[in-house]
Amino acid sequence: MKKTLAIFITLLVASLIWVVFFWQPEKEHVTLDSSGNMTGGDFTLQSIAGPVSLSEFHGKVVLIYFGYTWCPDICPTNLAMMAGALSQLSEHEKNRVQGIFVSVDPERDSVERLATYTDFFHPTIIGLTGTENIINDITTRYGAAYQIIKQDSATDYVVDHSSETYLVDPDGKLAEKLPHAALPDQILMSVRKYF
């Protein structure tokens, strides 16, 4: 018993020493405010199934979220809320709504990784990516913001980004910007205005 206690105390002291002298926490993820002239508009990006254009969803309400799969908290929260809303749709409504997750981290987010990531939240959310230039153009037109922050950590860098969900109406026009962590009921209320 004394030997077990001594080992436990030694491990505890060693852990405390490591935390005090060696541990360097990752930079806290920051949400950027989106601003600018939000014009929206059509775009084409890559999915695991090939190119996908926003115009393919004409007649549907489209929910677009810009983020990245390595995001520790903000993206999972917003995608979980989107998924909660999509799960509450009636059978008739399900065919009238599309969720899209656009990665602002094309260096690390392959179409395969995006497909796995979005499927975890909801099977109808599509993960899309493209070149940095195309993503910059789309985020600018939608009023989204992001910036890569280099750091010394296991992930090499984080991406600070805006956290709103963009609602595109059935005519393909950017209609609303939903706030970070909008609850599923709030999302549904906005979506159903366009049916």
CATH number of the domain enclosing 115 = 3.40.30.10
- Type of residue at 151: Q
* Residue 157, pLDDT score: 85
- In this structure, what token pair is assigned to residue 71? 């995001």
Residue in this structure with the two tokens 């996908």, named with its chain if needed: 52
- Domain-embedded: residue 2: no
Residue in this structure with the two tokens 């060696």, named with its chain if needed: 22
* Residue 25, pLDDT score: 38
**Beta-strand (E) ranges in the chain?**
44-47, 50-53, 61-67, 97-103, 126-128, 146-150, 157-161, 165-168, 174-178
- Domain-embedded: residue 107: yes
- Domain-embedded: residue 3: no
- Domain-embedded: residue 82: yes
CA dist 132 → 12, 69, 107, 161 (Å): 46, 16, 9, 15
Helices 111-121 & 74-87, crossing angle to 10 degrees? 60
* Residue 32, pLDDT score: 41
- Domain-embedded: residue 141: yes
- The tens-digit pLDDT sequence of the chain (195 residues) is 665 554 445 444 444 443 333 333 333 434 444 555 688 999 999 999 999 999 999 999 999 999 999 998 999 999 999 999 999 999 999 999 999 999 999 999 999 999 999 999 999 999 999 999 999 999 999 999 999 888 766 667 889 999 999 999 999 999 999 999 999 999 999 999 999
User: How many domains does the chain divide into?
Assistant: 1
- Domain-embedded: residue 12: no
- Domain-embedded: residue 4: no
- Domain-embedded: residue 174: yes
Q: Which domain holds residue 58?
A: 27-192
Residue from 185, 184, 167, 139 nearest 57 by CA:
167
